[in-house]
Amino acid sequence: MTSAPAIAGSPARAAATSEARRKGGTVSFEGLGKVYRSSAGEVTALRDISLDIRAGEIFGIIGRSGAGKSSLLRTINRLEQPTSGRVRIDGEDIAGLDESGLVGLRRRIGMIFQHFNLLSAKTVRENVALPLRVAGVARDEIAQRVDQTLALVGLEGKGDTYPSRLSGGQKQRVGIARALVSRPEILLCDEATSALDPETTVSILTLLKDINRRLGLTIVLITHEMSVIREICDRVVVIEKGEIVEEGPVWQVFGTPRHAATQALLQPLENGLPEDLAHRLRDTARPGDETVVELRFAGHRTPDLTGLAAAAGGTVRLLSSQVERIQGHAIGQILVGLGAGARPEALGQIADSARVIGYVDATDD
Ligand SMILES: Nc1ncnc2c1ncn2[C@@H]1O[C@H](COP(=O)(O)OP(=O)(O)OP(=O)(O)O)[C@@H](O)[C@H]1O
């Protein structure tokens, strides 16, 4: 980009965004394969990956340890060479780039890392300036662009500080500034928040989202945490043993996870049955018991409490609720206890699915 990083909502922002969009930032994988060969043998890290990442989106790649996430991410800037298939950036097959073409590609693709990869003997300003120095940019322009980029990531006044005096979150901000100073079209994030505490993670993810909106740049991130995907991604792909097993908009993958690997990755986010209820739940009803119904929302319907009460046709108690909004869709589940005379079978029309999970003695509450 030729214009300066700008403030959200300003005319300069709109110009910066449209310029980034015009310049592209798409990534296509076509039948990509990667086999590592060493004296210890062969490891197939990626198999037949075909995938299109659109300009300006935040795209998540998730999978368990060893699934092949890093291998895939690193083929985008040719830190890793595929064994088969192709990677295209804005339609161009990057396998054909010569040395100078590769240098140009890496200027268009910034990268940030889990452990920040900062030079400890250099100040924040020197760290951020490094890619411009290497590119031979004039001294005055370097100073101006470094200042603008430090302001963009919220590090005004920290230019002369050494990395050892910064918090983890501040170090990652330096990493982000260094990646952005060359005004790339694509930002690769390699487990960028995995070394950070939950609060700092949220602040870095918020910054990435903000940068994506302001500059219109494509962000591709890898993570093993579904909470990161939920926080900022537009679309996600799940990889398992080197293959794509699930792909789609985030709300859809969270709402209807189809593959066992996705379900396992989502498990830490599920609270399960409230403990007190789990202890009291019975398989068969005794006189006076409430019927406990689980209503699941997969993003196609919004919980309608009035409709719920009307459909049930009797007393309804809310026992627990874990419904969140992802990309404007209601995802999660509600547990209700239905009293005598209520019709559990009528609740199927209220949620995306409904099922009786047992019975409880309501007088125990
Ligand atoms: N340089 C290498 N030489 C040999 N095998 C490798 C090499 N790099 C990765 N692998 C293997 O390739 C497979 C995929 O590794 P990769 O690092 O891409 O997975 P990952 O999903 O990023 O894992 P993690 O989350 O643990 O970093 C693993 O079995 C790994 O052991």
Confidence of residue 5 (pLDDT cuts 50, 70, 90): very low
Sign of torsion, CA 97 103 108 110?
A: positive
Mutate to test the pocket of ligand 1, among 34, 36, 237 (most ligand atoms within 8 A of CB): 36
The mean per-residue pLDDT over the stretch 271-279 comes to 83
**Centroid of ligand 1 to alpha carbon of 23 (angstroms):** 32
Break the chain into its structural domains and give their ranges: 11-267, 275-364
Q: Does 266 have pLDDT greater than 60?
A: yes
Helix 168-180 × helix 139-152 angle, to 10°: 130
DSSP 194: T
Q: Does 262 have pLDDT greater than 80?
A: yes
pLDDT of residue 172: 97
Q: Does 365 have pLDDT greater than 90?
A: no
Question: Atom 25 in ligand 1: which residue has the minimum CA distance?
Answer: 65
Give the nearest ligand 1 atom to 224 CA.
25
User: pTM here?
Assistant: 0.89
Confidence of residue 276 (pLDDT cuts 50, 70, 90): confident
pLDDT of residue 269: 87
Question: Atom 11 in ligand 1: which residue has the minimum CA distance?
Answer: 45
pLDDT of residue 16: 47
pLDDT of residue 11: 44
**Centroid of ligand 1 to alpha carbon of 236 (angstroms):** 20
Percent residues over pLDDT 70 in the chain: 93
pLDDT of residue 74: 97
Q: Does 10 have pLDDT greater than 60?
A: no
Give the nearest ligand 1 atom to 46 CA.
14
Half-sphere exposure for 145 (CA within 13 Å, toward CB) = 24
**Centroid of ligand 1 to alpha carbon of 179 (angstroms):** 24
Q: Rounded to whole angstroms, how far apart are CA atoms 302 and 204?
A: 30
Q: Comparing 6-10, 44-48, 172-176, which segment has the lowest mean pLDDT?
A: 6-10
Residue ranges around ligand 1 (CB below 6 Å): 36, 38, 43, 45, 63, 65-71, 224
Q: Rounded to whole angstroms, how far apart are CA atoms 240 and 89?
A: 24
Question: Atom 24 in ligand 1: which residue has the minimum CA distance?
Answer: 65
pLDDT of residue 364: 66
- Per-residue pLDDT tens over the stretch 289-317: 999 999 999 999 999 999 999 999 889 99
Looking at this predicted complex, what is its ipTM?
A: 0.98
The mean per-residue pLDDT over the stretch 200-216 comes to 96
Confidence of residue 1 (pLDDT cuts 50, 70, 90): very low
Q: Which of 237, 249, 230 is nearest to 332 (CA)?
A: 230
- Per-residue pLDDT tens over the stretch 33-85: 999 998 989 999 999 999 999 999 999 999 999 999 999 999 999 999 999 99
Question: Atom 2 in ligand 1: which residue has the minimum CA distance?
Answer: 36
CB 153 within 8 A of CB 204: no
Q: What residues form DSSP beta bridges with 59?
A: 220, 235
Query: How would you list the strands of the sheet with 84-89, edge to edge?
Result: 41-53, 27-38, 84-89, 92-93
CATH for 275-364 is 3.30.70.260
Q: Token pair for residue 1?
A: 């980009």
* Ordered DSSP codes for 112-138: EETT----TTS-HHHHHHHHHHHTT--
**Centroid of ligand 1 to alpha carbon of 240 (angstroms):** 12
DSSP 342: -
As a whole number, the mean pLDDT across the chain is 91
Give the nearest ligand 1 atom to 239 CA.
21
Classify 11-267 by CATH class: alpha beta
pLDDT of residue 205: 97
Q: Token pair for residue 108?
A: 């268009």
pLDDT of residue 14: 44
Confidence of residue 151 (pLDDT cuts 50, 70, 90): very high
Q: What is the 3-state secondary structure (H, E, C) of 231-294?
A: HHCCEEEEEECCEEEEEEEHHHHHHCCCCHHHHHHHHHHCCCCCHHHHHHCECCCCCCCEEEEE
Question: Atom 29 in ligand 1: which residue has the minimum CA distance?
Answer: 66
Confidence of residue 22 (pLDDT cuts 50, 70, 90): very low
**Centroid of ligand 1 to alpha carbon of 38 (angstroms):** 13
Contacts for 322 with CB less than 8 Å, ≥ 6 apart:
270, 271, 332, 333, 334
Confidence of residue 23 (pLDDT cuts 50, 70, 90): low
Length of the chain: 365
Give the nearest ligand 1 atom to 71 CA.
18
Q: Does 244 have pLDDT greater than 60?
A: yes
pLDDT of residue 21: 46
Question: Atom 3 in ligand 1: which residue has the minimum CA distance?
Answer: 36
Percent residues over pLDDT 90 in the chain: 83
The mean per-residue pLDDT over the stretch 269-293 comes to 88
Domains 11-267 and 275-364 share a fold: no
Q: Does 7 have pLDDT greater than 60?
A: no
